[in-house]
């Protein structure tokens, strides 16, 4: 499994070429790690994104910094100039902290079905289980304690961290990373009520995950009831997210931790959903929607934009007063409509005009 190795030093000029940044200053300076502006020391590469921490440029002890063209004149340190400093920092961090690949082969303690196809360049870790007819592509990594069910397809360079569970017939696209404890393809919550009892509905669909996705630790994605649950390419799911059966999440969407998405909801492309948002089932959310953290979504969203539905924190007594006033709004609205129908507003306007 990938580990976090000791960073290797790199010349600033070489790093600039690798990440597509403009070099300003001594290109022979070597950096061997990343750090914040405030905590950086010799050999560290820091970055500035936005103006909040701009004042720290004067006091930082970093060897070099990444920043935007507008901030390039704010420090005499060697610098990498990029229009998107945060993205440049991400690329630089990947260069300084390359992931170590697992050693190819099947660990002696792993249990691999005879009909499974494991590419010789793939790695299956200690205690892992691989089911019948499952196909594991080149350079894929199955971590310690993973359970990969029957008829699963793992694409090239997929990484399963320890204790991931993939139920039967799940599909995972190339270069996707699934973090520890995630459960992919478990039964959706399908129940029919009859005579006061619940009847379980067999879930016969699959989970199909695209390429270049990331599935966070302890996130669960339910298999479809009939059709598949689909996670399209480049979707990023944080930790402890629940995705219900038959959901579709469009490409390039990012969802923060503890979000709950009920079944048969379709989320568009390029959406961003904040932590702990709750989304009801059988809804449609179009492309390019931003949903703020803790927002409850109970109806389809048909237009791009930012949607928020959470009360900000306030002292408890103030919250009680606000809630009390909110509960009276419907009554006040009815009284106003009654007054309007009685002509009170019209009479008032006539008196003003007569004056």
The predicted pLDDT at position 59 comes to 94
A 10 A CB-CB count for 53 gives 15
Q: What is the share, in percent, of the chain residues with pLDDT greater than 90?
A: 88
Sheet holding 129-130, edge to edge: 111-112, 129-130, 147-148, 165-166, 183-186, 220-222, 242-243, 260-261, 278-279, 296-297
Map out the domains of the chain with their CATH numbers: 10-96 (3.40.1390.10), 105-307 (2.160.10.10), 318-354 (no CATH)
151-177 pLDDT, tens digit each: 999 999 999 999 999 999 999 999 999
What is the pLDDT confidence band of residue 321, given thresholds at 50, 70 and 90? Answer: very high
Confidence of residue 355 (pLDDT cuts 50, 70, 90): very low
What is the per-residue DSSP string for 278-328? EE-SS-EE-SSEEE-TT-EE-S-B-S-EEE---PPP--HHHHHHHHHHHHT
Kindly report the pTM of this predicted structure: 0.89
- Lowest-confidence segment of 45-59, 113-127, 224-238, 268-282 by average pLDDT: 45-59
pLDDT, tens digit (0-9, with 9 covering 90-100), for 276-318? 999 999 999 999 999 999 999 999 999 999 999 988 889 999 9
Rounded-to-integer distance, Cα 270 and Cα 257, Å? 17
Catalytic residues: 245
Mean pLDDT value across residues 218-238: 97
DSSP H/E element including 34: strand 33-34
């Amino acid at each position: 499994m990938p580990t976090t190795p000791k960073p290797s030093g790199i010349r600033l000029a070489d790093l600039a070429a690798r990440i597509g940044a403009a070099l300003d200053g001594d290109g022979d300076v070597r950096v061997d790690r990343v750090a914040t502006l405030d905590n950086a020391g010799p050999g560290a590469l820091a970055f500035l994104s936005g103006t909040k921490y701009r004042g720290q440029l004067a006091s930082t002890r970093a060897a070099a910094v990444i920043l935007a063209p507008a901030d390039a004149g704010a420090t005499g340190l060697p610098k990498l100039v990029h229009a998107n400093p945060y993205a440049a920092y991400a690329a630089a961090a990947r260069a300084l902290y390359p992931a170590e690949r697992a050693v190819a082969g099947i660990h002696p303690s792993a249990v691999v079905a005879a009909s499974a196809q494991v590419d010789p360049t793939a790695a299956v870790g200690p205690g892992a289980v691989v089911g019948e007819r499952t196909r594991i592509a080149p350079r894929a990594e199955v971590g310690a304690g993973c359970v990969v069910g029957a008829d699963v397809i793992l694409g090239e360079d997929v990484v399963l961290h320890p204790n991931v569970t993939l139920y039967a017939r799940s599909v995972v696209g190339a270069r996707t990373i699934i973090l520890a404890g995630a459960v992919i393809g478990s039964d959706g919550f399908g129940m029919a009520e009859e005579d006061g009892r619940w009847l379980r509905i067999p879930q016969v669909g699959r989970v199909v995950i695209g390429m270049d996705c990331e599935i966070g630790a302890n996130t669960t994605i339910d298999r479809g009831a009939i059709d598949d649950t689909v996670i399209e390419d480049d979707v990023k799911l944080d930790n402890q997210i629940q995705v219900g059966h038959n959901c579709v999440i469009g490409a390039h969407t990012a969802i923060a931790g503890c979000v709950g998405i009920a079944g048969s909801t379709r989320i568009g492309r390029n959406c961003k959903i904040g932590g702990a948002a709750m989304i009801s089932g059988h809804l449609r959310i179009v492309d390019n929607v931003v949903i703020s953290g803790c927002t409850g979504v109970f109806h389809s969203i048909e237009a791009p934009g930012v949607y928020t539905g959470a009360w900000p924190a306030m002292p408890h007594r103030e919250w009680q007063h606000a809630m009390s006033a909110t509960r009276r709004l419907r009554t006040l609205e009815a009284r106003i409509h009654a007054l309007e129908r009685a002509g009170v507003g019209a009479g008032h306007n006539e008196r003003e005009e007569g004056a």
